Amino acid sequence: MERHIQRFLNKVSFVSFTIATLILVFLFLQTPETCIPPNAPIKPHLRFPKSTCDSSPRHYLPLPKKNARLWSSKTWINQVSSFTQFFIQLYHIGILKNHSKVLCVSAGAGHEVMALSKIGIEDVTGVELIESLPLVSRADPLNLPFFDGSFDIAFSGHFAEALYPSRYAEEMERTVRKGGVYLVVVDACGSEEVKEIVRLFKRSTLVGSSNVTMNGRRVTRIISRIRASN
């Protein structure tokens, strides 16, 4: 009697195993129907992802049109003009030259990149976690994809928001050549706070800090030079 049951159970498990295997094979061979075929003739601006497996890029507006709209907005123009004033001051104190190679870290949508280009700096690179082409390309500020000493100047207007400030500082310093400068702008602060920030940059010497206005708010501008020897 018991042997009978045993044999029956064996049969059941064999059948279940076979069915499960067949289902797996079937699922494996099946193309999920929820995926949109790559060249489906759908108007681009009406196109929304139907499922998570739709990995094709989605442009609701062609990039040049989108940029034209953004760059003609009032806030954009005001912010670029504020950055322009800011960089012209650096031009006057001799920190910035036309031939300077400038890196903007955490450049957002690229206001500062545009401002620098406008005042005649030819070699400007903007990076941010999310790209905004053509002004800003994608890169991790904590792991910059540039060789040591690639730039004359590194600028960041978002140093205070860095998740790992010392790593952020290390990367900014690494990508600037010896004798070059890094430049950060933070909410207006006193000399103790400036000292704390400067301490994170281990290979530089403070050139100076001062309070200036940027985009309508008071900020402290910190300029330091990368030492020729460590």
Ligand X SMILES: *[C@@H]1O[C@H](CO)[C@@H](O)[C@H](O)[C@H]1NC(C)=O
155 alpha carbon, distance to own chain's centre:
14
Residue of this chain nearest to ligand X (CB atom): 120
- Report the alpha-carbon distance of residue 86 to residue 155 in Å, rounded: 12
- Report the alpha-carbon distance of residue 198 to residue 191 in Å, rounded: 10
Residue closer to ligand X by CB (options 145, 190) is 190
Instruction: Kindly state whether residue 211 participates in binding ligand X, applying the rule CB under 6 A.
Output: yes
CB neighbour class for 49 (10 Å; exposed up to 12, middle 13-18, buried from 19): exposed
Residue closer to ligand X by CB (options 105, 194) is 194
Using CB under 6 A as the binding rule, the residues of this chain from 70 to 109 that contact ligand X are 98
Question: Cβ 191 to ligand X, closest distance in Å?
Answer: 7
Question: Cβ 198 to ligand X, closest distance in Å?
Answer: 14
Question: Cβ 230 to ligand X, closest distance in Å?
Answer: 29
Residue closer to ligand X by CB (options 82, 220) is 220
Instruction: Kindly state whether residue 44 participates in binding ligand X, applying the rule CB under 6 A.
Output: no
Among 44, 49, 179, 190, indicate the residue that binds ligand X (CB under 6 A): 190
Instruction: Kindly state whether residue 213 participates in binding ligand X, applying the rule CB under 6 A.
Output: no
Residue 179 parent element (H or E) = strand 176-187
Residue closer to ligand X by CB (options 86, 175) is 86
Residue 220 backbone phi and psi in degrees, to 5: -105, 125
Tell me the β-bridge partners of 224. Answer: 182, 206
Question: Cβ 195 to ligand X, closest distance in Å?
Answer: 12
- Report the alpha-carbon distance of residue 17 to residue 11 in Å, rounded: 10
Q: Which stretch binds ligand X (CB under 6 A): 24-32, 43-51, 125-133, 183-191?
A: 183-191
154 alpha carbon, distance to own chain's centre:
15
Q: How many residues bind ligand X (CB under 6 A)?
A: 8
Structure tokens at 73: 């907005």
CA atoms within 13 A on the CB side of 1: 0
- Report the alpha-carbon distance of residue 143 to residue 97 in Å, rounded: 27
Q: Which stretch binds ligand X (CB under 6 A): 30-38, 134-142, 165-173, 186-194?
A: 186-194
Cis amide leading into 64 (omega within 30): no
Among 142, 160, 188, 212, indicate the residue that binds ligand X (CB under 6 A): 188
- Provide the binding-site residues for ligand X, judged by CB under 6 A: 98, 120, 188-190, 210-211, 220
